[in-house]
Structure 1
Amino acid sequence: MTRRARNWLPGLLLVSPSILLVGVFVYWLITKNVLTSLQRSTDFVTDRVINPGGYRNYTQLLASSQYQHALFNLLVLTVVFLAGTMAMGLLWSVLLERGVRGEGVFRSVYLFPMAVSFVAAGVVWRWLLSPAQGEGQAVGLNQLFIKLHLPGLQNGWWSADSRFSMAAMALPAIWQLSGYVMALFLAGFRGISQDQREAARIDGASEWQIYRHVLFPQLSPIALSALIIIGHQSMKMFDLIYSIAGPNSYKAEVPATLMWTQLFSKSDAQAAAVNATILLILVAVVVVPYLVYTNKVEERSR
C-alpha cells in the first residue's frame, strides 16, 4: 500500500457509511422522485390519461388553479413569516443585548417555543385561531376579544374569506421560531467588541446611530443566514398547517399539504412527485446561492 493510500484510506473508510446512507436515502430517492414525476399514468377504470408524461406533467400541474392557489398561499405565508420572525427576533435581541435584569429567564422564555413540536403547537393554535365567532360560540382569541369588549376584532383567521388569510397561519410559526432568530442576533451582538461602541460614543454618535451605522451592518451575514434558514422552512411547512387546518383544507392549502392529498387521497403518485420536485427546486433556488456565497466568503478569509 502506497503512502498516499495510507493517508486517505482510513478517512474514506470512516465516512463511507455516511456516504452510502446519504447516497441511497437522499440522492437516489431524489432521482427516483424525478423519474416518477415524468411517468405517464392513466385511470385504472376508464383508461383516461391523468398525467401525459414528461415535462407535460409539470405544465399541467403549474397550470391548474388549485396549485396556483397553493403557491399564492405559500407566498403569503412566507412573506409574513419572514417579516414577523426577523422583526420579533431582532427586537428581542436588542432588548436583551442592552442588559436587562433576568436575561437568562427571558432568553429561556423566548427560546422555549422551539422545544415544542409543530404538531403540539398546532393543536393549541388550532383552538386559539378558531374561526367561531359570537357570544357563546367564540373560543380562543375571538373569545378573548369579546372579554376585552373588542368584538370588532373577531375574524375567521386562516379560514377568513380573503386571499391573504394565510397570513394568520404565520402567527404560530412566528411565535415558535422568533426565539431562534433572537439567539442568532444576540450571539452576533455579543461578538462585536465594546471598543467599537465606545469609539462611536466618543465621536458623538447617539445610541440609535451606533446601532444603525456600527452594529447592524456587522449583523448582515447573520441576518442572511437567518433568512435562508427560516425561508426554506416556510416553503416545506406541513405539520403545523396539517395540525391547525387539517389535510384537506382548500383555504389553507400549500404545496406540502396538497402533496399529501395527491399521494394519499387521490393516489396520484406522479402529481405528488411533480409537486415534490417543484418544492425541491424552490428550496434550491434559495439555499444554493447562499451556499455559494458562504464558500466564497470562506475562501476570501483564508
Structure 2
Amino acid sequence: MEKEIPVRKKRKLSNDHLTAIAFLIPSIILILIFVYGFISWTGYLSLSNYNTIVPDFSFAGLKNYIYLFNDFRFQADLRNTLFFTIFFIGIVILLGLGLAILLDQKLKGESIFRNIFLFPMALSFIVTGVVWQWLLHPSTGFNKFLIHFGIEPKWYTDTTILAGFKWGSIEFGLPVAIIAVVIAAVWQMTGFSLAMYLAGLRGIDEELREAARMDGANEFQVYVKIVLPILIPITMSVVIIMAHISLKIFDLIYAMTGSGANFVTDVPGLYMFETTFRGNYYANGAAIAIIMLLLVAVFIVPYLWNSRKGES
C-alpha cells in the first residue's frame, strides 16, 4: 500500500505579522531612498562631468577617480588616514585593555575612575578639537609650560615626515603633525574601548582563571592563554568601530588643525567638504565620498560576513 505524502498547507499570515510588516514598510522605503538611493546617486555623480555650478551629468567614466589618485592632496590624505588609523586603533585598544584590566582588580573608587575615563565620550569631536587645538597650540596651553624648559614643540604645525621616501607626488612616511590629532582622538575614544573590555572581563567565569592557576599558570599566562583569547570578539568589534570612525573622520580635524601646512593633517572627509561645498567640484567630491565608502566597506563587510557565518 502506497504511503500518502502529506500536503504541506500554506501558512496564512496572522494579523500580528501583517501589523509588523505594515510598521516596517515605511522604514524600508525611507532607507531605500535616503541611504541606498543617495549612495547610488553619489556613485552616478562621481562618473559625471558635474564640476561646475552649472549641472552637467554627461558621462565622464573614471576621469574623476584618475584625477584624484594623481592629485598631491588626495595622495597626502590617504597617507595621513593610513597612519592615523594604525596609531589610533592600536593605542585605543592597548590603553582600553590596560585600563580595563586595572579596573577589574576591584580597586577602591573604581566608579570614579570609570566615570573619568568615560567622560570624554560625552563630548563631540568638535569640542574635543577646539580644546586640544588650544592645549597644543604653539603659543598657548601646554606649550607655555614647556617653553620654560627650553622645549618648543610645533605639534600640529610641524611639516616633518618621519622615515619618508618618495611615493607618487608625496613623501610617504609618518607626518609628525598627525600625532597631535591621534592624541586628541585617543583621549576621546579610549573610554569606549575601556567599557567594552571591562564588560568582557566581568563576563569571564572566574572558575576558568582559578582552574588555570591550579594548573600552575601565573597571572601573565592566565591573561595570555585564557583571558585575551576570550576577548578576541570584543577586540574585533573595537577595531571595526574605531576603523569606521578614523576612515571618515572630519569634525575633529576641521576644528583642531584644518588641512595643515602642506596637507600634513588633511583627510579625505575634509577634502570632500572643501571640494564639494567650497570649490563646487561636485563630481570630484562625489568620487571622494565613494572612495571613503569603499574604504569603510573593506573593514565592515568582512566583519558582517563572518558574523553571519558564525550565527548560521
Question: Considering the TM-score relative to the shorter chain, is it more than 0.5?
Answer: yes
Structure 1 residues 44, 21: closer, same or farther in 2, change over 3 A?
Answer: closer
Distance in 2 separating the partners of 1:186 and 1:44: 52
Decide which of 248, 252, 255 is 1:236's aligned counterpart.
Answer: 248
How many residues align structurally? Answer: 286
User: By how many angstroms is 1:295 displaced?
Assistant: 1.1
Distance in 2 separating the partners of 1:8 and 1:29: 30
Decide which of 133, 154, 157 is 1:156's aligned counterpart.
Answer: 154
Whether contact under 8 Å (2:209, 2:226) holds in the other structure is yes
Distance in 2 separating the partners of 1:178 and 1:285: 23
Q: Does 1:180 align with 2:181?
A: no
Whether contact under 8 Å (1:247, 1:260) holds in the other structure is no
Whether contact under 8 Å (1:123, 1:243) holds in the other structure is yes
User: By how many angstroms is 1:54 displaced?
Assistant: 1.3
User: By how many angstroms is 1:146 displaced?
Assistant: 2.8
Decide which of 67, 72, 78 is 2:79's aligned counterpart.
Answer: 72
Give the unaligned 5+ runs of structure 1.
133-137
Q: Does 1:113 align with 2:114?
A: no
Aligned to 1:103: 110
Decide which of 45, 64, 71 is 1:36's aligned counterpart.
Answer: 45
Whether contact under 8 Å (1:159, 1:252) holds in the other structure is no
Amino acid at match of 1:205: A
Q: Does 1:25 align with 2:34?
A: yes
Amino acid at match of 2:237: S
Which deviates more from structure 2 when the two are superposed, residues 179-188 or residues 57-66? 57-66
Which deviates more from structure 2 when the two are superposed, residues 227-236 or residues 161-170? 161-170
Secondary structure, in 3 states, of the residue corresponding to 1:169? helix
Q: Does 1:278 align with 2:276?
A: no
Decide which of 227, 233, 237 is 1:221's aligned counterpart.
Answer: 233
Structure 1 residues 19, 179: closer, same or farther in 2, change over 3 A?
Answer: same
Whether contact under 8 Å (2:52, 2:282) holds in the other structure is no
User: By how many angstroms is 1:44 displaced?
Assistant: 7.3
Distance in 1 separating the partners of 2:186 and 2:53: 44
Distance in 2 separating the partners of 1:176 and 1:161: 25
Amino acid at match of 1:18: S
Whether contact under 8 Å (2:136, 2:142) holds in the other structure is yes
- Give 1 or 2: higher helix fraction: 1
Structure 1 residues 270, 231: closer, same or farther in 2, change over 3 A?
Answer: same
Whether contact under 8 Å (1:90, 1:181) holds in the other structure is yes
Aligned to 1:262: 275
Aligned to 1:169: 181
Structure 1 residues 22, 196: closer, same or farther in 2, change over 3 A?
Answer: same
Distance in 1 separating the partners of 2:53 and 2:235: 51
Whether contact under 8 Å (2:81, 2:267) holds in the other structure is yes
Amino acid at match of 1:174: V
Whether contact under 8 Å (2:51, 2:281) holds in the other structure is no
Whether contact under 8 Å (1:86, 1:178) holds in the other structure is yes
Whether contact under 8 Å (2:156, 2:260) holds in the other structure is no
Amino acid at match of 1:216: L
Structure 1 residues 245, 52: closer, same or farther in 2, change over 3 A?
Answer: farther
Secondary structure, in 3 states, of the residue corresponding to 1:101? coil
Structure 1 residues 124, 44: closer, same or farther in 2, change over 3 A?
Answer: closer
Distance in 1 separating the partners of 2:53 and 2:187: 46
User: Which one has the largest radius of gyration?
Assistant: 2
User: By how many angstroms is 1:9 displaced?
Assistant: 2.1
User: By how many angstroms is 1:248 displaced?
Assistant: 7.2
Give the TM-score of the pair, scaled to structure 2.
0.86
Distance in 2 separating the partners of 1:43 and 1:89: 46
Q: Does 1:195 align with 2:196?
A: no
Give the unaligned 5+ runs of structure 2.
1-10, 162-174
Deviations 1:188-247 (A, max 9, x none): 101100001111111111111111111011001100110000111000010010001236
